[in-house]
Amino acid sequence: MVVFSWRKANRVGTDTAALKAEAGIQLRASHFAVFVAIVGALYVLGAESAFWIQREAATGVAFFPAAGVTLAALAVTPRQRWPWLLATIAVAEAAVDLQHGQTLWMALGFAAANTAEPYVGATLLRGTFRGDASLRRFFTRYILYAVIAGPLVGAAIGGTVASFAGLHESGASIATKWFIGDALGVLVIATCALAWREQHQHHVDPHVPWLEVVAFPLFTATITSVLILFWHEPLIYLVLPVLMWAAVRGGFSLVTTTGVAMALVAEIAVVSGKSRDTLVSDAGTGRQLLYLQLFLAVALLSALVLAIEVGERIRAQRSLRKAQAARLLERVNTLDAAADERRRIAREVHDIVGHALNAVVLQAGGARRVLDKDPPLARELIELIENTGRDAFRDLDAALGLVDHSPDLSPGRSIADLPALVGALQRAGLDVTLTVHGEPRPLPRLVEWSAFRIVQEALTNVVKHTADARARVEVGYELDTLALLVENSGRRVDGNGNGGRGVVGMRERATVLGGQIEIGPDQHGGYTVRARIPVKQS
């Protein structure tokens, strides 16, 4: 009954989750439909803007906003939904062309050009994008693929269609205007949209109050309007300091927003015929348009390059702060591990000394009782008391400076337990051998327990971090030193072995006992733990 109830509840939960997921998909689909409608409306708005301001757009426009709208929409949309966007753009372009008197096949040709262009640019950009790419590298790819390659494809198709249509202007001339206008449209509109999306998701730019986000574009639009529409003097380069200031203050998002304001005013000036003598005096309309487009490209690219350096500086600062936080956390963990190991050693010393004092009390009581009856036995007991006391004092010397003397009477394991440890690892599949050099002899229990812990931790690291390991354990009883060696020749699969609580514990034990320990890779590509612990003779 319990199993049935659980399965029923689980099935109900699964059905509920499925219904929620289905509702979420439908909700996202409805959102995408709204998104497609907005993109289509913006495309029509950008394509019609020139005709609204000036009924005949044959003289050209400074930039084509619709190209930037399409590229940005594809860049933020999953590839499986691209057909819906591209179909919407094709219908919108054909409708605008037919409305302004172009033939059906010309409208279809221009629609093909305006859908192939963003498709090529977005595909190249996505196909070569890497998440770890620097801002400089990604911006270079963005310029090459989205701003140059895509508009080149669109211009080639559009120029070819215009050539076959027999227009009074050559196909090459139309293709040139097409490329420059669409490239600037992507640079102005798409760059701004993508910059704000990245700022919203990843905060790639400095934080700027909304008051400045509004003030910079307004200030730039005002300066551009005065210089182009009213003053009629070739001083539009005065906008450059404002763009540079925006790049420093707010990075990509602010400088692209400021650039949009500047470019829109320039667009109005061009299509209304009021941009003459703004950049170069005594120049024809066509040359004035070209000079203005060149200025827009140079000004925006210069400010964006500065914004790249600002963004790279922010990324470097964030990486530095993360690295510092990681080092601080590692340091804190190391200190915690060292403190834990010292407390563990202190508890072991407490056990050792307590055992020694119990033995001394028992031996002293026995000596007192046989002192008159059996003096040789009493003498032997007194000598045992002396030896026990000396061993206890050696262990106490190792514990000086340790804290937290809370009792933990669980017995430690000694060197005599190493064969059992090695045997257990062998049965588990580890290729490990144990060799003992010299004549085994009794050692202070703190040394015995610490030696076992060092070998145990070293073998644990072999199992955890090494693939195809072959380990070798050697214990050497020297005159006044206990030598330990744990060596493996396997291939490390993670970590460098220089950190971690286990390694800190091995170091602490060797240091507290006055010994030395070396932990690290050897010259043959393996890993070695080598310790030497002094053993004072009685």
Of the pLDDT bands very low, low, confident and very high (cuts 50, 70, 90), residue 460 is confident
Residues 6 or more apart whose CB falls under 8 angstroms from that of 269 comprise 62, 228, 229, 275, 278, 292
The string of pLDDT tens digits covering residues 290-334 is 877 888 888 899 999 988 888 788 778 778 878 777 776 776 666
Q: What is the pLDDT of residue 335?
A: 65
DSSP secondary structure letter of residue 484: E
CATH fold, domain 28-198, is Arp2/3 complex 21 kDa subunit ARPC3 (1.10.1760)
**What is the phi-psi region of residue 77: left when phi exceeds 0, alpha when psi lies from -120 to 50, beta otherwise?**
beta
d(CA 70, CA 143): 16
Q: Given CA atoms 362, 364, 369, 371 in this order, what sign does their dihedral have?
A: positive
- In the sheet with 527-534, reading across from the earlier edge strand, the strands are 431-437, 470-477, 481-488, 527-534, 516-521
User: CA–CA distance from 366 to each of 362, 377, 379, 390 (Å)?
Assistant: 6, 9, 11, 19
Stretch among 58-67, 169-178, 416-425 having the lowest mean pLDDT: 58-67
Nearest alpha carbon to residue 172 among 185, 184, 160:
160
With beta carbons less than 8 A apart as the criterion, state whether 239 and 220 touch.
yes
Give the integer Cα–Cα distance in Å for 363 and 360. 5
Dihedral angle, C-alpha 422, 427, 432, 433, nearest 10 °: 60
Q: What is the CATH number of domain 328-398?
A: 1.20.5
Largest CA distance in the chain: 137
Confidence label for 84 from pLDDT (cuts 50, 70 and 90): very high
- In 3D, which of 234, 214, 241, 353 has the Cα closest to residue 302? 241
Q: How many of the other CB atoms lie within 10 Å of CB of 293?
A: 22
Amino acid identity of residue 501, one-letter, is: R
Query: In the prediction, which pLDDT does 410 show?
Result: 42
Q: 3.20.20.30, 3.10.270.10, 2.40.160.20, 3.30.565.10: which CATH number matches 415-534?
A: 3.30.565.10
Q: Average pLDDT for residues 187-205, to the nearest whole number?
A: 84
Distance separating alpha carbons of residues 156 and 160, to the nearest angstrom:
6
Q: Residue 426: what pLDDT?
A: 79
Query: Helix H segments across 371-444?
Result: 375-398, 418-427
Residue 477 phi/psi, 5-degree rounding, is -90, 100
Domains 28-198 and 328-398 share a fold: no
DSSP codes of every residue in 172-239: HHHHHHHHHHHHHHIIIIIHHHHHHHHHHHH--S----HHHHHHHHHHHHHHHHIIIIII-SS-GGGG
Structural contact between residues 360 and 385, judged by C-beta atoms closer than 8 angstroms? yes
Q: Is the pLDDT of residue 212 over 60?
A: yes
User: Residue 381 is encoded by which pair of tokens?
Assistant: 């007991």
Domain residue ranges in the chain: 28-198, 328-398, 415-534
